[in-house]
Structure 1
């Protein structure tokens, strides 16, 4: 970023070092003062070029295995669940910080080789000449694959809903018709005959007739009434007495 600003402002190389060191703070300021003093004591020339300054800064502020770690990160970089745009941003950032430059063919192969399998298979049909071209084609294919997936899912959802409604309707009809299937079609005449047969199997112990039981006998009370009526029919009867006997009894004999 600093180099881009210096290029944009068109600062000459001999003025860049003096301008940049004025922006140092904290540890960077202490390091710069110590470096100047050590070089003066060693009778070495001043650092007045931008290339020499960046060389010393890399040596003192970057880890000793910085290049190796950066290369390993670039090797292990995968698209995964990220979009093509997010993956490409990380790829360019890591590739730009690599000091060991790779050829264009190597970068293209590295870029395509870690995309998702669908995009890799689609890009095999083309022969991109730059990483930017491979990036643009991967973006277009990602949009197409996403559109196809959305349209297929939209077509599948109504079918699933229809299938579910049909299944529910069939199960509801089966549940409703299940009692009718279990029941037998019995004619009304057969039902009446069976009821009559059951009634005829009963016998009343009061009147001796079939078709009812003793407690439901319709002639039970009537029979008692007939007995009482029969007892009351005819003229009233009185006790008979012998008149002769009564006369004899009426005569009183006394002593003579």
Structure 2
């Protein structure tokens, strides 16, 4: 098996008496490019990917803003450069944390009613012409970011009500405890 294209490389490090017992892993990963022209889901996924990248790669806080800034493109980089210049003119400190930058990006690139949009996508999610597997994946994708505080039974009821009528009837003959 050729490991040259592997996503993960094992690197053995030697430290004193622990020789050969300690392993580090190198992961090929990068922060996604951000153009500033994506929908609600894609935007939130992008921010989650950045958070995950920083966590997995153990990126120090003082480097995070610069790492995101170099991945901005098009509308997003124009906005960021303008924001940086404005702060300099106003003699304000530069943005130093990813948390603050993320909040600014959210305010700039998401519609004010993005939570309503996500909720609407969730409550209107139905199987339609999709397979059960595709519908289930979509349903779970929409249910997660909404954090509605629904019980699992309520979530199951909402899921079943989105299935095709013929499947709803079959589901009515059995007890379903979870959507997974």
TM-score by length of 2: 0.60
Distance 1:126 1:29, change over 3 A: same
* Partners of 1:104 and 1:131 within 8 A in 2: no
Q: Distance in 2 between matches of 1:58 and 1:78?
A: 28
* Partners of 1:78 and 1:114 within 8 A in 2: yes
Structure 2 residue 90 is the aligned partner of structure 1 residue 37: no
Q: Distance in 2 between matches of 1:72 and 1:78?
A: 12
Q: Residue in 2 aligned with 1:112?
A: 160
Q: Which has the higher strand share?
A: 2
Structure 2 residue 175 is the aligned partner of structure 1 residue 126: yes
Q: Distance in 2 between matches of 1:17 and 1:123?
A: 49
Q: Residue in 1 aligned with 2:102?
A: 54
Q: Displaced runs of 4+ in structure 1, greater than 4 A?
A: none
1:104 Cα offset (Å): 4.8
Q: Which has the higher contact order (CA 8 A, sep 6+)?
A: 2
Where does the alignment leave 5 or more consecutive residues of structure 1 unmatched? Answer: 133-256
Distance 1:112 1:16, change over 3 A: farther
Q: Deviations over 1:201-244 (max 9, x none)?
A: xxxxxxxxxxxxxxxxxxxxxxxxxxxxxxxxxxxxxxxxxxxx
1:16 Cα offset (Å): 1.8
Distance 1:114 1:56, change over 3 A: same
Distance 1:104 1:15, change over 3 A: farther
**Mean Cα deviation higher: 85-94 or 54-63:** 85-94
Q: Distance in 2 between matches of 1:89 and 1:127?
A: 17
Q: Which has the higher helix share?
A: 1
Q: Residue in 2 aligned with 1:189?
A: none
TM-score by length of 1: 0.44
Where does the alignment leave 5 or more consecutive residues of structure 2 unmatched? Answer: 1-48
1:19 Cα offset (Å): 0.8
